[in-house]
Amino acid sequence: MNKITTILIFLLLTGIILNSGCIENTKANSTWGEKKISMDAITVSNDTVGNRSENNDSIYYVSGYILNQNPYEALNPKIEVTTYYSNGTVFAVNDTPYLDPNNLPINGKSRLYARFEDPDKKIAKFEVKILSAKSEY
């Protein structure tokens, strides 16, 4: 009777652990309680704009917001701002734009700012890409 009770308790505890979500059997890295972040839930706000500086029109800047709709803070986001000539070729790339705050808060936003030297006023358009982010360090 004692062996049966021990086996039943062991099976009960195993079932509870497996159903609790603490152990995930995925391709990620099967760590305990791993948080998953969706890159599709990190977007560039529609009001992100590119303009010339009012003080110095040889400076072109891109400013706006990066939005995070994940249930976790998006840590260490990698963002790339690319500017283009009117014919579509790349003018310049800024892969370290200013973000404030640096990490994207849960269901929040971070201010984005990137600056480009353009004395000949050749920049015609820009693109902001979110390359990656982590949900934990």
For 91-134, how does the pLDDT look when each residue is reduced to its tens digit (9 = 90+)? 999 999 999 999 999 999 999 999 999 999 999 999 999 999 98
Q: What is the pLDDT of residue 101?
A: 94
Across 58-72, average pLDDT:
95
The residues, ordered by sequence, that sit 6+ positions from 128 with a Cβ below 8 Å of its Cβ are 44, 48, 62, 64, 66, 79, 80, 81, 112
Across 84-93, average pLDDT:
97
Question: Among 24-28, 47-51, 73-77, 115-119, where is mean pLDDT lowest?
Answer: 24-28
HSE-CB for 44 with a 13 A CA cutoff: 18
Q: What is the DSSP letter of 40?
A: G
Across 5-20, average pLDDT:
78
pTM to 2 decimals?
Answer: 0.72
Taking the C-alpha atoms of residue 94 and residue 20, their distance in angstroms, rounded to an integer, is: 43
